[in-house]
Structure 1
Amino acid sequence: MSWWQVLLGVLAGLALVYAVLLGLLWAYARRHPETVPTREAWRLLPDVVRLVRRLAGDGSLPRGVRVRLVLLLVYLASPVDLVPDVLPVVGYADDAVVVALVLRSVVRAAGPGALTRHWPGSPAGLALVRRLAGLSGAGPA
C-alpha cells in the first residue's frame, strides 16, 4: 500500500467522522428546537461568555466542570468550528448547540444555582439560559 493510499484512507475517515458529527448536530437541533433559539442566543452572547468565564474561574466548582468551560471558551474563540460560520444560520447554530450541551453538563455537575449566582444579565436572559441548559422552569434554583 502506497503513502497516497494511506493518506486517502485517512482523509476519507476524517470526512466520514465529520459527516457523522454534522448528522448528530443536525439531529440534536431538530429534536430540541426549543433549546437552540439561534436569534436569542446571539443577543445573549456577551452575557453567556461572561457567565462561562465566571463559572470557569469559580474555584468551588469541580475541576472537570471548569476544564469543560475553559475548553468551551477556546472553542468559541477559535476560528475552527464544526460548521464554518460563513454558512448562514447553520454556521452559528453549531455554536449554540455546543454551548447548550456544555451548560447542561455544568448544571448536572454543579447544580442550577451556579448559573444563577454567576449570571451577569437580565432575568429574561437567565430564563433563556436556563432553557438552554435543559432546566424546565425558568425560576430560581
Structure 2
Amino acid sequence: MRDWLIGLAAAVGCLLASWAVLVLLARRLPPGILRDLAAFIPDCLTTVRRLRTDPRVPRRAKIAVVVAGLWVASPIDLIPEFLPVIGPLDDIVVVALALRYAGRQVPREVLLAAWPGEPRLLNRLLGPPHGQGA
C-alpha cells in the first residue's frame, strides 16, 4: 500500500511540475496567436467565474457557461489532452459555443468586462454585434 501511495504522489508531483513548466513557457511566448491560444482556456475559466455571479446574465446563459467551465475543468475529454495541438480542441470548441450562446443573450459590454484577455479575441469569437452585418 505504501508503494502505491508513493507512486501516486510522484505522479501528481510530475503532473504539477509539468503544468508549472508549461505556464512559465507560455508566459515567455511573444505576443501573437500562440500567446493568445495559450491564454484562451484560463481566460475562459475566469470569464465563466465572473459571468456566473453577474446579475445581468440570464439563467440560461449562466447554465451554458457553467457547463462549459465544468467541461474544461473535467479530467474526462473527448480528445485526450496529451495529444499535441488537438488535445485541448474539444475544450476550446465547447467554450466557444457556450460563449457564443451567452453572447446572444448577454450585452456585449458585460461579456467584454468579464473577459480578462485581449478584447479582439473575444470579439472575433462572438462575431459581429446584433444588428450589424458580417
TM-score by length of 1: 0.60
Q: Which amino acid aligns with 1:106?
A: A
**Deviation digits for residues 57-96 of structure 1, max 9, x if unmatched?**
1122110111111111111100011211121111112211
Q: 2:127 aligns with which of 121, 134, 138?
A: 134
One-letter identity of the residue aligned with 1:112:
R
Q: Secondary structure at the match of 2:87?
A: helix
RMSD of the alignment, in Å? 2.0
- What is the SS of the residue equivalent to 1:90? coil
Q: Residue type of the partner of 2:125?
A: L
Gaps of 5+ in 2: 1-32, 130-134
Q: % of aligned pairs identical? A: 40
What's the counterpart of residue 69 of structure 2?
73
Q: Are residues 102 and 93 of structure 1, via their aligned partners in 2, closer, same or farther at CA, if it must alter by over 3 Å?
A: same
Alignment length (residue pairs): 97
Matching of residue 116 in structure 1 with residue 116 in structure 2? no
1:58 equivalent in structure 2: 54
Change (3 A) 1:42 1:103: same
* 2:45–2:69 Cα contact (<8 Å) kept: yes
Residues 64 and 129 (structure 1), Cα distance of their counterparts in 2 relative to 1, 3 Å cut: same
Alignment of 1:77-96 (within 5 A): 77-96=73-92
**SS of corresponding position for 1:59:** coil
CA distance in 2, matches of 1:119, 1:91: 23
Question: TM-score, normalization: structure 2?
Answer: 0.63
Q: CA separation in 2, counterparts of 1:134 and 1:110?
A: 14
Q: SS state of the match for residue 91, structure 1?
A: coil
Q: Is the contact between residue 38 and residue 96 of structure 1 (CA under 8 Å) also seen in structure 2? A: no
Letter in 1 for 2:62: R
112-121 or 101-110: bigger deviation: 112-121
* Shift in Å, 1:39: 5.8
Does 1:102 pair with 2:98?
yes
Task: Give ranges in structure 1 of 5+ residues lacking alignment.
Answer: 1-36, 137-141
Tell me which amino acid in the other structure corresponds to 2:69.
L
2:37 and 2:49 mapped to 1: Cα distance?
17
Q: Write 1 or 2 for the structure with the bigger share of helix.
A: 1
